[in-house]
Chains A and B, each alone.
Chain A
Amino acid sequence: MAGQTLYDKLWQQHVVESRDDGTALIYIDRHLLHEVTSPQAFEGLRLAGRQPWRLDANLAVPDHNVPTDAAERSGGVDGIVDPVSRLQVKTLDDNCGDFNIVEIPINDRRQGIVHVVGPEQGATLPGMTVVCGDSHTSTHGALGALAHGIGTSEVEHVLATQCLITRKMKNMLVKVDGQLQPGVSAKDVALAVIGRIGTAGGTGYAIEFGGEVVRKLTMEGRMTLCNMSIEAGARMGMVAVDDTTIDYVKGRPYAPTGEQWEQAVAAWRELHSDADAEFDTVIELRGEDIQPQVTWGTSPEMVLPVDGSVPDPEAQPTATAKEAVRRALEYMGLSAGQKITDIRPDRVFIGSCTNSRIEDLRAAADVVRGRKIAASIKQALVVPGSGEVKAQAEAEGLDRIFIDAGMEWREPGCSMCLAMNADKLGAGEHCASTSNRNFEGRQGFGGRTHLVSPAMAAAAAVAGHFVDVRSIAEDV
């Protein structure tokens, strides 16, 4: 009999009941909540007269609506200018108070994007099942956890029962061997994988990322990679536990200590696919083949290496594909054959649950250090993923590097990734963004998003157009 994959093991450890129809009741260890997808779930509990099943499994933090402007932020919840956003954040506070759920509130130093805060606080650990009403919950799979996004009905279901009714996914291995070239990061790997398999390529699968390149990635890099599994269609992505994982978790506020730490580590050491495990699909990439990536269209699969040129609709194989490219070019204001390096961003956004961790900020700072952003850039936002990331960056002097270059150093939150707060693009504006989705209107009505790595966003800010970060020294 073939061995088990990492996903098989995680699944098996959490099955409460298997049912004849192929579904199973799966136990949930950690449930993260934020203000956008939880109010209707709490309301559902109230209407049904139900209480949370297990309080200590839940942790809440507001992130989507919070202002990142220091002045507005200083007023806390009451200081949020937009009344609709204010009510939503206030509602999270009230619901957590009413149901006794632990919340990290808006101006707590630990506050930040839920997918940055969870691992950072040790609230998400290897071997856990982790869910949240947010599709980028796949991020937590980087710790060797089974983590995925859920809808609001399921948020209510998890609150009430500590379980989910679900069906086992198929196994996909994305194996990246060899090594990455300098200047190429986990974000480029994620985009290259999506470019290869498409935004529906992972639908129905749990992805495990493996291979030499993944083994050498830091935890921050692994989180970036797993974060974007959903952009490849997979609800979850994961990486096997190794020393990098265990070193990262050790000493985190909610991580186990003493005897329980030893016991936990022994269990976590088993969290890898067996050598003879069989995957339903295997995708292989070579690290040295991956160039810095830039998206040109309105779906993350519309991506090219930075030295590429925008495709021609007429060259597409099917009528649907021709139409999709034609529509994307029209929305993006680009023409077939245009060089990626000729696209000039109006704004730059460095942040989001994909790329707002300390390593991301260091990579961006390395590029802008001692330089100025181009005069044509209207705004370059740097939004740390959490208060802890912000404090660390400030201790390293990264904030000064950004400010001296002409960038804005903000308070933590989701910010311009989805523009639910005041940070947004104007119609027709192009943005070099380290976020995860380039959908129409995502960063603001009529806004045009180009997804890139933090180093590539910083390089575009300095050059005023997309440029291979590896050539920035000569180019600027």
Chain B
Amino acid sequence: MKAFTVHSGIAAPMDRANVDTDLIIPKQFLKSIKRSGFGPNLFDELRYLDEGQPGQDCSKRPLNPEFALNQPRYAGASVLLARENFGCGSSREHAPWALEDYGFRCIIAPSFADIFFNNCFKNGVLPIALPADTVDSLFEALYANEGYTLEIDLPAQVIRTPDGSSVAFEVEPFRKHCLLNGLDDIGLTLESADAIRAFEVLYRERAPWLFGSIR
């Protein structure tokens, strides 16, 4: 996993509530058995005017000019500013894979769906929940200023805006630690292998029916 420390990038708007993971990456692209290559199909149904198919050359497809990410002012954006309940619906990790593959490293919204929020951290993408009025002000500033760039400082837990102000944010210590160091948490959990084995021994005595039925 890519480490995340301090990231500075152009912010782009996804100005609607309840953006679901079907909208982030439609189901036909979930047939891939790979973990990469989803970026060209991020927000496929909003971004293109035709129906996308897996394996297609997206550079030849008709773009929806009204969609923010297709507008020159948001070219190269790596911070996504979004609304309430971002990432709701399906648990597909293809959603953060697509965001990351497109180039987004940070998503800022008033709230996130639980599974999506969790999946982001496994992929070097930082989701930041801020109060709704703070997000409103960021949207206003973003629309008013072309090339609006935010600096996300994870060690200090602040977002710095172009006008020099800063916004503090919360992040769970364990998740921060993993992101800062790009850690694979399977390796960390396996450091507790003895504790897992000890738990299993007692558990098997207490609930033997949970072991061995499927073989």
Contact = CB atoms under 8 A, between A and B. Distances in A.
B153 interface: no
A179 interface: no
A39 B200 CA distance: 27
Interface string B189-215: 110110110011001001111111111
Contacts of A149: 91, 115
Contacts of A320: 16-17, 83-84
Interface stretch (A48-56, A276-284, A307-315, A458-466): A48-56
B23 A199 contact: no
Contacts of A55: 215
A254 B209 CA distance: 10
B73 interface: no
Interface in A397-427: 418-420, 427
Interface stretch (B29-37, B98-106, B140-148, B156-164): B29-37
B192 A235 contact: no
Contacts of A165: 174, 185, 188-189
Contact of B18 (A122, A264, A324, A446): A324
B115 A200 contact: no
Contacts of A29: 210
Contacts of A16: 192, 195-196, 199
Interface stretch (B6-14, B60-68, B116-124): B116-124
A427 B45 CA distance: 12
A437 B22 contact: yes
Nearest to B188: A165
A199 B211 CA distance: 37
B173 A21 contact: yes
Given A22-B172, A153-B123, A256-B209, A162 B196 contact: yes
Contacts of B193: 161
Contacts of A22: 172
Contacts of A324: 16-18
Nearest to A260: B209
Interface residues of A, number: 86
A23 interface: yes
A422 to B, nearest CB: 12
Contact of B214 (A102, A154, A256, A442): A102
B12 to A, nearest CB: 18
A151 B115 contact: yes
B210 A233 contact: no
Given A91-B33, A133-B91, A200-B111, A439 B27 contact: no
Contacts of A263: 208-209
B114 interface: yes
B93 interface: yes
B33 A87 contact: yes
A185 interface: no
B156 to A, nearest CB: 19
- Residue among B22, B122, B189, B203 facing the most chain A CB atoms (10 A cut-off): B189
Interface stretch (A123-131, A343-351, A359-367): A123-131
Nearest to B199: A16
A151 B119 contact: yes
A40 B34 contact: yes
Nearest to B121: A153
A420 B29 CA distance: 9
Contacts of B190: 160-161
Interface in A263-308: 263-264, 267, 299
B35 A437 contact: no
A133 B21 CA distance: 14
A102 B18 contact: no
A125 B209 contact: yes
A403 B73 CA distance: 56
- Residue among B33, B185, B207, B215 facing the most chain A CB atoms (10 A cut-off): B33
Contact of B23 (A57, A162, A267, A440): A440
Contacts of B28: 420
A399 to B, nearest CB: 28
A279 B71 CA distance: 47
Nearest to A445: B51
Contacts of A43: 33, 35
A43 B55 CA distance: 20
B88 interface: yes
A199 B93 contact: no
A192 to B, nearest CB: 19
Interface string A351-371: 000000000000000000000
A323 interface: yes
B58 to A, nearest CB: 15
B33 A439 contact: no
Interface of B: 16-18, 20, 22-23, 26-28, 30-35, 45, 51, 54-55, 83-85, 88-93, 96, 111, 113-115, 118-119, 122-123, 172-174, 184-186, 188-190, 192-193, 195-196, 199-200, 203, 206-215
Given A233-B85, A440-B23, A441-B26, 9 more contacts: A27-B200, A84-B54, A87-B31, A125-B209, A151-B91, A156-B186, A157-B186, A199-B88, A320-B17
11 contacts: A29-B210, A50-B186, A59-B214, A84-B55, A88-B33, A151-B115, A203-B114, A320-B17, A439-B20, A441-B26, A446-B51
Enumerate the 7 nearest inter-chain pairs by beta-carbon distance, A residue then B residue, closest first. A256-B209, A153-B122, A151-B93, A39-B33, A151-B119, A149-B91, A200-B85
